[in-house]
Structure 1
Amino acid sequence: MTQLIDKRNLEYDRLAEVGGADAFLEETARVAESVHHTLIADDNKVNRFTGHLTELRVEGAPALPDGARDGRPDGEYIARAKEYLASVAEAIGFASGEPAEFEADPKVMATSEGLRAVSLQQTLNGIEVWGMAPKVWLRGDGTVDRVVGDTASVGVDVPTMPVVPPETALAVAAAKAAEARTLEGPFGSDELPALDVSADFSRLTQQAGNAQPMTFDRGPFDEAIPARLVYLYMGDAVRLAWSFEFSREQGAVQYHALVEADDRAADRSAPQILYFQDLTSHVIAGRVFRRNPAESTFDRAPFPLPLSDYPTEPPARPPAGFPGPWATRTDGHVSTVGNNVLAVDGATRRSVEIDVDPEGNGVFDTEPDTPDQFVTNIFFFCNYMHDFFVMLDFAEEHGNFQTVNVTGLGRGADPVHAFAHPGSVVGTANMATPADGSAAVMNMGLVAQTGRHTANDADVVFHEFVHGVTNRLVGGLHDAAGLREMQSRAMGEGWSDFFALTTRNYFQDRERTVVGNWVVDNDRGIRQRPYDEEYPGSFGDIGRRPDGLDYTKIHNVGEIWCATLMEMTRRIGAALGSKQRGYRIAWQSVVDGLKLTPKNPTLLVARDAILRALRDLAGHKVTEAEYPAVRQAAWESFARFGMGFDAFCPNASFTGCRAGTQLPPEGHED
């Protein structure tokens, strides 16, 4: 992902403007007295850009009526979360009488141990406050545990009606999205040609409401263009803006633009772009290669694999219909089309189809390095990751990728559309993840300088698939757009590398610490340094270039996050005396932590979500006696990479990150 224009003043310090951290803590104490229970605020967990807390801990809050009852309808948790947030708004940073309005994602996340997370979107006048999307954590009985994530003060005097017509704003944004660009990636560069946007765009749909949601025809782009009004918090101002999203190059390139819409526009006929971002992650992504042609034989694998072939622990109570068939049988044939994945050739748009015998037996018996084999391999890899994450509770109700949701939970109609292109594609490999109910799109292609295909490399396909998981779990099912700020996007890369490596390392005596080495034909892979115990980067290096390294780029900062999670996995395994248990506990705490993580998190916010998820595993996947050592191992891992208890950052940008190596004080509860 690349941020091309960002006119927000990210160095703006609103915290100083509102009286500093001491005033914050005093206000928290006052609000705690009014709600009759304990509120805990940490002055290190304030976004200085917004002047609001990013975490408010809660102790002693009342449960819902009939509080002993667990497993309530989502609506009860949502109502409780919204009511509670309104009651403590001034402790978070809102002034008395200042609007603090929120809409909820209709689906409530639940960790494997029953902690609920309600995803909220700040709004005003029915218009989204862009990027401000906290989560409220609740126990099963409705007791609020924590409020995490970003919010911002938006005055009542902000405009609701645009003075810039949407067509005018769209013309400006489309011209930017249509520009020729050179896209730099780990495999080299791709030249993106300019598009002709001289023709007008026509409105296709328009809905009622202050946000004025509408859709324009696609013009020279790949898909119709959604538009709506949003408020953009700039630091020293709040602007009304038109929001647009563009897709091009078969979905390999996606742009998000915010164009000024209010009366601050100096020229209403030529408004300015306030924010413009390339949303695409330009990274690498029968008889199959289970890893890649150098590390596995080209051999038969059952579709689906038996659960014993996975490193995860088979669920004690499998979800209904799990594991389902990967390939759907129709009239004596099966193809690389199933409930989880639709895999096709990128040029012909055709799946691989084979005949089956009367008992339903058949083999995708392709030849290596052929278009059909690439399609079959990407089909295998995506189905593998689907089932792997279901066993970690990324299930239908959490927004996983399926055509039909057997349980009736979630929206369905969103399998992964996996394209194995015969040639190179923009970025070499990518995955686009819309909201639950809309299909994710994965593209795999040849690496130009090696002639090797990313569909044959688990590193690449697994990495891209995990982008879909993290986008859905952090972003929420409503829009799956929770990783937009710099640190957030970096963690998206780190999570993807982490799962790509650890899913294979579970079975290997020798730990693998590089990614993408086969597909680029380079033992060093595509990252700056191996993810071993000597990895040099630290949280305090973010935004800097220490000792020949570069931590000013998204992927490179993601290395710090991956290295940390791998260290945590090693240390938990050592604490438990079992590598296998260490991996499983680490994976579960990371996936549960994703469900608790609010939109646009810092590394420290995501750290705290993992630690809390780990705590909830005590008495379940780890014993109460084991938990202190496991927690210590996790904290030591974060501290090793500068994310100790005393670490600090003012917001989710790459500025102002201060490393800390301290462990939490005795008695601190995660």
Structure 2
Amino acid sequence: MALAALLAVPGLASAQNASPALSSALSQLTTQRAKLGLSAPDIADPAVTSSYTEADSKVTHVYLRQRYQGIEIYGAEADLHLDGSNKLVSLHSNFVANVANAARAAAAAPTLSPAQAVAAAARALGLAAPSRLDVLQGGEPAAGLKLSEGGISRSPISVKLMYQANASGELVLVWDVTIDDLKSEHYWNARVNAATGGLVDKYDYTISEPVSFAELTQHALATKNWPEPAVTNGVAAPNSYNVYPITVESPLYGARQVVVNPADPTHSPFGWHDTNGVAGPEYTITRGNNVHAYEDRTARNTPGYSPDGGTDLIFDYPFNQAAAPQVYQDAAITNLFYWNNLMHDYMAYKGFDEVSGNFQVKNYTGTGLGNDDVRAEAQDGGGTNNANFSTPNDGSRPRMQMYLWPGGTGSITAPATIAGSLPMRGTAYGRTLTAAGPISGRLVLADDGSANPPRACNPLVNAAAISGNIALVYRGGTCSTPTKIRNAQNAGARMVMIADSIPNTAIANYGGATDTVGIRIPSVAISKADGDKIRAVLTSGTAVTVSVSGIIRDGDFDNGVIAHEYGHGISNRLTGGPANSNCLGNAEQMGEGWSDFFGLWMTTKPGDQGYTPRGIGNYVTGAATDGYGIRPQRYSTDFAVNNQTYALIGTGAYTAVHAIGSVWAATLWDLNWKMIEKYGYNKDMKAKTGGNNVALKLVLDGCKLQVCRPGFLDGRDAILKADSIYNNKANTYQIWQVFARRGMGIDAVQGSSNSLTDNQAGYLIPTRVLASQPQQQRNELLELYPNPASSELTVRLPVSSKTPVQVSLLTLLGKTVQTSTVASGELQQGARVNISDVAAGLYIVQLHTSAGTFNRKVLIQH
């Protein structure tokens, strides 16, 4: 196989790509082809999309795309990974077998020109027709061209001739077109038939966040005060930023502080305002090598106003949440700038660096591609109750858009029996509470005369009672939310409260819809629990009054959400290599999960505990510090708080990307705390030691090692492989323990990563791994919750027993007070044991299985 042919794609013939490691990888692909079910012609001419060697570990990552007759095949990728001695340690392939047969019906040459392909893609995507398309960078169609923006794109339009397999597996000749939509948040990568112009496939580089929905003493972090960066006491200091500093998730969790010289000397050696690699800042505004932060309230999607810190780079601005967002824009943009830079600097220590495709104008090491700093748009006017991140390939600038979250704050003022705070959030329909002003008055339960009257799907029959008051309606039924609001408005309601119909979840968000015609009154959403509490009082004949006022929360101050958005850039650049940001568009992918985990990790501080419930987006949604935020369950190592497992994927709400991702994040959160339990917590979050640092590096290394378009078990195996390569399998047992706990044990089945219906949860740890552990480690597999327990105890054990399992409750002196028998399979998922007749006290739960005996303590309180 000629290396020159493999390096024929422009930009790939670098010294690094011609290294012995790359040559070895390509040679070993040939050696492995029979095991992959491929023929010699199938691997004869792959394109190297990315190849890099890590400076510290000397591990080399090589990412390939199959070619046929010199044309790349979209979706046909392979990844090879070699250790420092050029030994192959991991290989995955999605190459098309018998490629010549698959391409037999494909056109040999395109009918459409590149400009015609752009026009066809624009039509298919619902965009305006391009006005003029000039060639900015010419070349062979199979290597790719760049055309001008054509009045429809924010950046030059990339066009490339490729093949793509259709549903039957046959290859179709396509034009691959990338359009950074000028009029919306979308950053499209589409493929149109090179002969007909019909849309074959599309992928959006923009990922949005619309909201639709141990032993007795737990291991805790050290209780020393968090070592904040240098902090001033109100005295202006050069190179300072008044922000919510690292680990402070939002205004809910701590105060702003002025931090001084926070740029990392290793990964931002010339400071955060440099772009040329020479001492001295190029910018005094919130712009530099890693990020350009600015306001975009009018949704121009181009750089707007940025605060100027002057020659001393002092960014110290007031923030009053009650004020209009424009009043505190300087503080918001500064916080957004600070956190984007933090993510850049901290993640570089864990493997998201220049060579692997991070975001910088200038790459100081000379590896990777530059000119791709983050465009961070604060107070973006393109929507509300949302945030997004666009991740094109290495060398093209990503974009983060942070929105405002109009909502409400309110309380029940009477009767005294239920008076108190009433958590709520605004909807996307009608006037905002901020515009309507404070509203106080009586709540009246809607009655539409149907079998379920509060659903308000029909004209309200109690209009006389509703008129001039606040209508309480319920979610669900056969009608839309706008219909409910209109029916209440037509009955004379001043405002509508929508109670959820689903228990134990976050307050529902009603956003993103356009059906707002004729709606003039504000509306808010409340939880089912609060709705039911109010409804019970109303139906008893007692009046309920509330007081509600509007408030706008700015996403630029929710650092967990900022970290989450930045995290999409990390997982997209690392999976499949930095030159292929299309690897996380499959059904069973975990992008939202990685991002939640990054947000949680960056906001963990000394004194935190793994079992403490953690929400996502609590600030922007107006939730309490222990509220649900925007996920189905709060994150916690306590199964009584978060019992998410792989079995949920593809069921109910777990067909949506955020719910799917939350199962993955729950697992990574367990992994983080399992590593902290083993290695302790290191308050130096840039260090290599400490369980928190070990966990994050395992996660990032796993992204590099996993297959393009991974499923959950692919991700599990990649983390295990990362531990094998980088840690000599030091944490194999703990990793299996965590994944088996969440239904991704050795007996789990993934099926296709493009399907949500063919997976099967499994809860077993490999026998060989379990057998290697001492009894104390084996005992940790036994989970008991809740602990303390009252009337019922759930017992879980990820072990296969050939005989029924005897579950005994013993006193500390060894006396048996209760015994029951459960099936091994039931125990793996959680068996419930009735303990209502057991006296309060401290006991030992003992399990006898064919795989051995397991013991753990439980406290019973009645």
Report the TM range for the smaller structure's normalisation. 0.7 to 0.9
1:367 shift after superposition: 4.0
Aligned to 2:573: 472
Partner of 2:156: 224
Q: Where does residue 173 of structure 1 map in the other structure?
A: 121
Q: Deviations over 1:194-229 (max 9, x none)?
A: x54386766555421446645354333433332222
How far apart, CA to CA, are the structure 2 residues paired with 1:560 and 1:398? 27
Please give the residue correspondences for 1:234-313 in structure 2 after superposition, counting only pairs within 5 Å.
234-236=166-168, 237-248=170-181, 252-261=185-194, 268=196, 271-283=197-209, 286-290=241-245, 291-304=249-262
Aligned pair in 2 of structure 1 residues 79, 251: CA closer, same or farther (>3 Å)?
Answer: farther
Judge conservation of contact 1:416–1:441 (CA < 8 Å) in 2.
Answer: yes
C-alpha distance after superposition, 1:137-184 (max 9, x if no partner): 111111112212422222253443124555555444312322xxxxxx
Amino acid aligned to 2:591: G
Distance in 2 separating the partners of 1:208 and 1:399: 25
Cα 1:276–1:640 change in 2 (3 A) is same
1:540 & 1:234 partners in 2: Cα distance?
30
For residue 457 of structure 1, report the CA deviation from its aligned partner. Answer: 0.7
Aligned 8 A contact 2:251 2:557 in 1: yes
Residues 646 and 422 of structure 1: is their aligned pair in 2 closer, same or farther, counting only changes over 3 Å? closer
Distance 1:422 1:412, change over 3 A: closer
Write the distance in 1 (CA, Å) between the matches of 2:146 and 2:370. Answer: 24
Would the aligned equivalents of 1:204 and 1:216 in 2 still touch at CA under 8 Å? yes
Is residue 2:287 matched to residue 1:337? yes
- 2:386 aligned to 425, 428, 440, which one? 428
| Conservation of the 8 A alpha-carbon contact between 1:253 and 1:426 | no
Q: Deviations over 1:240-294 (max 9, x none)?
A: 22222222256621223222235xxxxx4xx432223333211179211233122
- 1:105 pairs with 43, 49, 72, which one? 49
1:351 aligns with 2:306: yes
Match of 1:215 in 2: 147
What's 2:699 paired with? Answer: 590
CA–CA distance in structure 2, aligned partners of residues 73 and 204 of structure 1: 26
Structure 2 CA distance for partners of 1:389 and 1:199, relative to 1, 3 Å: closer
1:155 match: 100
Residue 656 in structure 1 maps to residue 601 in structure 2:
no
Larger radius of gyration, structure 1 or 2? 2
In 2, Cα distance between equivalents of 1:667 and 1:636 = 10
Deviation at 1:384, TM superposition (A): 1.0
Residue aligning to 1:557: 660
Secondary structure in structure 1 of the residue aligned to 2:600: helix
**Higher RCO, 1 vs 2 (CA within 8 Å, ≥6 residues apart):** 1
Equivalent of 1:604 in 713, 716, 728: 713
The amino acid across from 1:208 in the alignment is E
After TM superposition, the structure 1 stretch with the greater mean CA deviation from structure 2, 201-210 or 289-298, is: 201-210
SS in 1 for 2:35: helix
Tell me if 1:407 matches 2:365: yes
Deviation at 1:617, TM superposition (A): 3.8
Which secondary structure does the structure 2 equivalent of 1:657 belong to?
A: coil
1:517 correspondence with 2:462:
no
Alignment of structure 1 residues 533-572 onto 2, 5 Å: 533-534=638-639, 535-545=642-652, 550-572=653-675
The whole-number CA distance in structure 1 between the counterparts of 2:573 and 2:282 is 36
| 1:385 to 2:317 alignment | no
Look up the equivalent residue of 1:283 and give its one-letter code: E
Cα distance in 2 for partners of 1:216, 1:363 equals 37
CA shift, 1:116, in A, is: 2.0
- Alpha-carbon spacing, 1:579–1:274, altered in 2? closer, same or farther (3 Å): same
Deviation at 1:494, TM superposition (A): 0.5
CA distance in 1, matches of 2:244, 2:592: 24
What does residue range 628-639 of structure 1 map to in structure 2 within 5 Å?
Answer: 630-639=731-740
Which of 445, 468, 481 is equivalent to 2:403?
Answer: 445
- Kindly indicate whether residue 635 of structure 2 is the aligned counterpart of residue 528 of structure 1: no
CA distance in 1: counterparts of 2:80 and 2:595, whole angstroms: 26
Contact 2:50–2:64 at 8 Å: present in 1 too?
no
User: Matched residues in 2 for 1:284 and 1:376: separation?
Assistant: 24
Higher relative helix content: 1
User: Could you tell which deviates more after superposition, 517-526 or 201-210?
Assistant: 201-210
Higher strand fraction (1 or 2) = 2
More displaced 10-residue stretch of structure 1: 289-298 or 96-105:
96-105
3-state secondary structure, aligned to 1:355: coil
Q: CA deviation at 1:600?
A: 1.4
Partner of 1:362: 314
Residue 591 of structure 2 aligns with which residue? 492
The residue type equivalent to 1:498 in the other structure is F
Task: Tell me by how many angstroms 1:519 deviates.
Answer: 0.5
Q: What's the TM-score, normalizing by structure 2?
A: 0.59
Residues in 2 aligned to 1:394 and 1:594: alpha-carbon distance in whole angstroms:
10
- Say if 1:323 and 1:387, in contact at 8 Å, map to a contact too: no
Distance 1:101 1:401 in 2: 31
The answer for unaligned runs of 5 or more in structure 2 is: 1-14, 212-240, 298-302, 408-550, 684-689, 771-862
Distance verdict in 2 for CA 1:493–1:99, change over 3 Å: same
RMSD of aligned C-alpha atoms? 3.1
**C-alpha contact (below 8 Å) 1:127/1:230 kept by paired residues:** yes
What is the distance in 1 between the residues matched to 2:165 and 2:619? 44
Amino acid in the other structure paired with 1:134:
A
* Contact residue 130 and residue 151 of structure 2 kept, 8 A: no
Distance 1:241 1:404 in 2: 34
Aligned-pair CA distance for 1:518: 0.7
1:450-502 Cα distance to aligned partner (Å, 9 max, x none): 511111110111001111111111132224332222223xx111000001012
User: Does residue 616 of the first structure (1) align with residue 725 of the second (2)?
Assistant: yes
* CA–CA separation in structure 2 for the residues paired with 1:138 and 1:614: 14
Give TM-score, length-normalised by structure 1.
Answer: 0.75
CA distance in 2, matches of 1:614, 1:331: 40
**Secondary structure at 2:572 match in 1:** helix
| Secondary structure of 2:663's aligned partner | helix
Preserved CA contact (<8 Å) 2:63 2:80: yes
* 118-127 or 145-154: bigger deviation: 145-154
Partner of 1:325: 271
- Matching residue of 1:30: none
**Alpha-carbon distance between aligned partners in 2 of 1:383 and 1:562, rounded to the nearest angstrom:** 23
Letter of the 1:325 counterpart: G
Per-residue deviation, 1:90: 2.2
How big is the shift at 1:385? 0.9
In 2, the alpha carbon distance for the partners of 1:345 and 1:250 equals 17
Q: Is the 8 A contact 1:644 1:659 kept in 2?
A: yes
What is the 5 A alignment of 1:74-89?
Answer: 75-89=19-33
Q: Using the alignment, how far apart are the partners of 2:124 and 2:314 within structure 1? A: 50
Rounded to whole Å, the distance in 2 between the matches of 1:301 and 1:90 is: 58
Letter in 2 for 1:400: N
| 8 Å contact from structure 1 (residues 203, 216) kept in 2 | yes
* Deviation by residue 1:516-545 (Cα, 9 ceiling, x = unmatched): 011011222001111223223332332222
SS of 1:612 mapped into structure 2? helix
The whole-number CA distance in structure 1 between the counterparts of 2:561 and 2:58 is: 33
User: Structure 1 residues 438 and 567 mapped into 2: Cα distance closer, same or farther (>3 Å)?
Assistant: same
Relative to structure 1, is the Cα distance of residues 508 and 429 closer, same or farther in structure 2, using a 3 angstrom cutoff?
farther
Percent identity reads 28
Q: Which amino acid aligns with 2:763?
A: T
